[in-house]
Amino acid sequence: MRTAVLRRKSVPRIGRFGWLMGLYAENHSKLTRLFEPGDLAEGGYRSSIGDGLDLQLDVIEQHRFTVELRLTYGLADPLTGEPDPSAFVRLYRDARQAEATHCYVGRRWQDVIGMYPPPDAVIGHRLRMNTFLGKWLDYLAERGHGVATLQRIP
C-alpha cells in the first residue's frame, strides 16, 4: 500500500492555470491551421460552405506580436441585436497562444463574474470560454471552413 502512495505522489498534476495555457496553445494551432489570421489584412471575411450558416471572421487589428479578431455567424441575439455566438480572440504570434477574451457581445467578463472576482473564478471563466472556442474551431474544421473558403467582404 505504501508503494502505491509513493507512486501517486511522483506523478505530476497539471493545475488549472497549466490546463488553461494548454488550451491557449491548442486554440492557436487550430485557429492558424484553419484561417491563418496572421496573414490576413484588417477587415471582414466570410466563410461560406453552402449550408446557409456563413461564418464571419473580422480581423480587428494586426500588431507586431498580436492579432485581434472576432468569429461569429450572421445570427443576431434577440435581446441585443448583436451577432451571437461570437468570440473575440487575441492571437499571440510570439507565444503561439490564442485566447478567447470574451464570447458574448452583451456580457463582458465583469458582467459574468463581477468586478473583483477571486482568481479561481477568473481561471474558471477563462477555461469555459477557451474550451468553447476550441470546440467551435473543431466544429468549423469538420464542416469544411478554412482558408480556401474565406472571401474578403468589400
pLDDT at site 107 = 55
Residues linked to residue 71 through DSSP beta bridges, in sequence order: 57, 87
Contacts of 138 (CB under 8 A, 6+ apart): 30
Rounded to 5, what percent of the chain is helix, strand, coil?
40, 25, 30
Q: Is residue 4 included in any domain, yes or no?
A: no
Neighbours of 35 (CB within 10 A): 25
> Residue 77 is part of which domain span?
14-152
In what helix (H) or strand (E) does residue 101 lie, and over which residues does it extend? strand 97-102
Structural domain count of the chain = 1
The CA-atom distances, in angstroms, between 69 and each of 1, 8, 11, 15, 76 are 53, 42, 38, 28, 18
- Hey, which residues does 57 pair with through a beta bridge? 45, 71
Tell me how far apart the 2 most distant CA atoms of the chain are, in Å. Answer: 68
Residue where the block lists cell 451571437: 84
7 in a structural domain: no
Distant-in-sequence, close-in-space partners of 146: CB < 8 Å, separation ≥ 6? 34, 35, 47, 140
Determine how many CB atoms are found less than 10 A away from the CB of residue 67. 22
Residue 31 lies in a domain: yes
pTM: 0.82
Q: Is residue 9 part of a domain?
A: no
3-state secondary structure of 13: coil
pLDDT tens digit at each of 154 positions of the chain: 555 555 566 666 678 888 899 999 999 999 999 999 989 999 999 999 999 889 999 999 999 999 999 999 878 778 777 777 889 999 999 999 999 998 865 455 556 666 777 778 888 888 999 999 999 999 999 999 999 999 999 8
Residue 10 pLDDT: 66
